Structure 1
Amino acid sequence: MEIYSVDKDKVIKAYFLTGRITYQYALDHLVGLIDKLDIQRRFQNETFYKRLEIDFQEGCITPAITIAFIKPVDLDNVPTIPVLQGEITQDIEHAFVLDGIQRLNTLKRVAAKEGNTLNKNSYLYLNIIICPSRDNLLYRMVTLNNGQKPMTARHQIEILAESIYDFSAYSFKIFTEKENAGKNEKAYKKADILNSYISFLSNSTNLDNKKIIEDKLDELVARKIIESKIANETVDFNKILSLMDRMTGSDKLYNWLKNGNNLIGFCVGLRTSFTQVNSYNNEELETAIDTFEKAFKNINVSTIKLSRERRRLASFYISKIGELIEKDADELTLLLAEQI
């Protein structure tokens, strides 16, 4: 591996490096990264890449592969290129491939064919992102790949979130629709967690709308994430998961968060009030949620779309909890009604 340059990405607060590797290095160290996720981008039909297979054997130069690391950075004291090159080489098995999965898979396929004429000393060029924030990295991934098919913004987020968030570190479990949560364990639906994450990134409670066709909805998701300026936020979703972990210790709070609409509203609201909410203990949060539920029950549900307004009002309440936590249910009812 050779690193040529290092710059600062001031938007996502990351190091951005350029360099190159040989085909052999890619086969030894990068190809394995594209298979390590449970849900990976589907490989395109091999016939689409027949020309690239031939080109690889003739020593072509492809657009740069983009890989990334989640690591602390100090933009005021950027390490030297030799130091960064050493760290990257040592930690390469922890990298994520953000762009170039199809090219690497094609290279792997060519190398496995008998009689190939691949020159393994030929070069692939690299873009390397070292970013301290998982959310900022996802933002960059969306801006890199928005509009490409067949990988939608939602799928990009699902893939990377599966890899960079270690859900096993928490006391709660995650289960899919095909799985069942254990009778005596606290667990959240994976779909609810991912929808909440997408809502958090996009700062919107209305991105699971069945009235919008899927392709357009995916376009709107990417647009909202880009416009939400998540890279300027100090709240990382990892902090929210840690807060959820603590709150899950309360049966009352767990049952409230287990409702997918509540969870979405909660996560979006925390973009502006995380420090305040995190300062409350579980007993204080139980009282706050009780007040919210009493007020919400006073809303005439026949005049609203229940799921949409639950998400939106939960977000409103959580985002302004410092101002609203002292309100009683009657006062809060009037304030919630004004938001509808």
Structure 2
Amino acid sequence: MRVVDGNFDTNASAFSISTVMELLEYTSLTDYAFKQDGNIEGQRSVISKSAAASKIRDRMIKDFKNGGVFPPVVLGLIVKEEELQKIKESVSLDDDFAQIFETYPHEEISIIDGMQRTNIYRGCLEGNEEREIRVEYWIATSINKLLYRMLVLNTGQVPWNVRRQVEVIYKPIISQIKVLVENKDPDLYSKLNFYDINDKGRRTNAGEFHKNQIVDLFLVYSLRNEKTDISTQLAEEYKKLDLMDALDQSISLDKFIDIFIAMCKLDIALGNLDLSVIELEGRFTNGKDLFSSHPVRVGFVAAATELIIGRKGRERNPKQSEEALNRFVDNINEIISRLDAERFSIEEIEEFLDFQMLNQWLTSLPKSKVGEEERTGFKKAFAMIFEEKEGFIKLSEYWMKI
């Protein structure tokens, strides 16, 4: 391997190193990453089940054998902060990078961009072992920087919709959320169940959530926009940029965990209710039904985020944020206390919840863009609930604001 040049990316706090290396060295170096579909979450594996892909691959093989030069493959490596600083300040980049690079096993290398080219290189190895190819290294101190780079690289290739970009980052986010919830409230965590994105199972009990929907709630929190919907293509390019900004800013999960825990506690409390004796008509006929609705979850998180964090451009200072969080938690706890079947009859609890009123109001919403209308409507209702300072009588007074 021979270093050609290096440039520090101040925007992403990462170092780009351009190199050339012999094909045999490259295929050996990336063997593990290739077999792990790039060794980075969200990377696309080799495209094989496509007639168009087959034609492109055949053409690339022919071009390479005829002496064609491909764009650099981009490899990723996460290093320690002091090592990145050493590379940044190096006067002999070739030596310093090689010295640091050799301390990391091949299993830690990822293919950020170039899975299809790597497949071609592997197929053309025989007879081309000493042929030089161009390889760029993206050296960073966190996985977020590699994911950011991968998203940027792919914006000009096969289009990535918002859902696919969410799939790139949802695993590490979900892992963090699960750990933080378990650490903060182990008893609550034991009552929760998280479904995989490909799981076809439906929610049957309170406390059950699909992971991709939790990611959507995280986006609502981080982008402070209840209209962020990963199931649509509206304003996709703007969401793509917002998503990369959120990723780049390493947004804190602390307040999101507080909001998510409060939502789960309320969901569990509602799920313990049996309202079947009331014979309600409409969408919400039992306690667990409320947070089975994604617009309800989105409205809850959006309203809580705006209360605790503040609106975009008008963020709350730490003291204001803590005071708002305390009021939010107190109000949720008061509502939960009103759902105690040992203190109140089911009829009294339903009178307080007034799902019948909620069901009636939902039928009056415009039929066009109903999902968007519901998200915005529930955000308004929950905003008033969270900001309440005089206690609760009936929730119908808030449902009427939807």
Tell me the TM-score normalized by structure 2: 0.58
Q: Name the residue aligned to 1:36.
A: 36
Q: Name the residue aligned to 2:387.
A: 324
Cα distance in structure 2, aligned partners of 1:87 and 1:248: 45
Cα distance in structure 2, aligned partners of 1:141 and 1:32: 19
Identity %: 15
Query: Could you tell me whether the CA contact under 8 Å between 1:62 and 1:125 is conserved in 2?
Result: no
Query: Could you tell me whether the CA contact under 8 Å between 1:269 and 1:315 is conserved in 2?
Result: yes
CA distance 1:224–1:2, shift in 2 (3 Å): same
Higher relative contact order (CA 8 A, sep 6+): 1
CA distance 1:271–1:122, shift in 2 (3 Å): farther
Larger of the two Rg values belongs to structure:
2
CA distance 1:66–1:58, shift in 2 (3 Å): same
Unaligned runs of 5+ in 2: 48-52, 183-188, 272-287, 310-317, 339-351
| Deviation at residue 122 of structure 1 after TM alignment | 1.6
| Residue deviations 1:234-264 (CA, integer Å, cap 9, x gap) | 6245974687479757724996766433444
Matched, 1:105 2:119: yes
| Deviation at residue 48 of structure 1 after TM alignment | 0.6
| Residue deviations 1:118-139 (CA, integer Å, cap 9, x gap) | 23552332140515473x6555
| Residue deviations 1:281-329 (CA, integer Å, cap 9, x gap) | 99637337769x96996693233256434433555678x7998253655
Query: Could you tell me whether the CA contact under 8 Å between 1:33 and 1:96 is conserved in 2?
Result: yes
CA distance 1:232–1:31, shift in 2 (3 Å): closer
CA distance 1:261–1:335, shift in 2 (3 Å): closer
Unaligned runs of 5+ in 1: none
- 1:56-205 to structure 2, matched below 5 A, reads 56-57=64-65, 60-68=68-76, 73=81, 78-80=85-87, 81=90, 88-89=101-102, 90=104, 93-111=107-125, 116-120=126-130, 122-130=132-140, 132=142, 134=144, 138-149=147-158, 151-162=160-171, 166=175, 169=179, 171=189, 172-176=193-197, 178-180=199-201, 187-197=208-218, 199=220, 203-205=224-226
Tell me the TM-score normalized by structure 1: 0.66
Q: Name the residue aligned to 2:276.
A: none
| Residue deviations 1:160-204 (CA, integer Å, cap 9, x gap) | 434675477565533345454899995421331344455556554
Number of residue equivalences? 323
Query: Could you tell me whether the CA contact under 8 Å between 1:252 and 1:286 is conserved in 2?
Result: no
Secondary structure of the structure 1 residue equivalent to 2:85: coil
| Deviation at residue 35 of structure 1 after TM alignment | 4.5
Cα distance in structure 1, aligned partners of 2:327 and 2:96: 43
Query: Could you tell me whether the CA contact under 8 Å between 1:31 and 1:104 is conserved in 2?
Result: no
RMSD: 5.0
2:241 counterpart (206, 214, 226)? 226
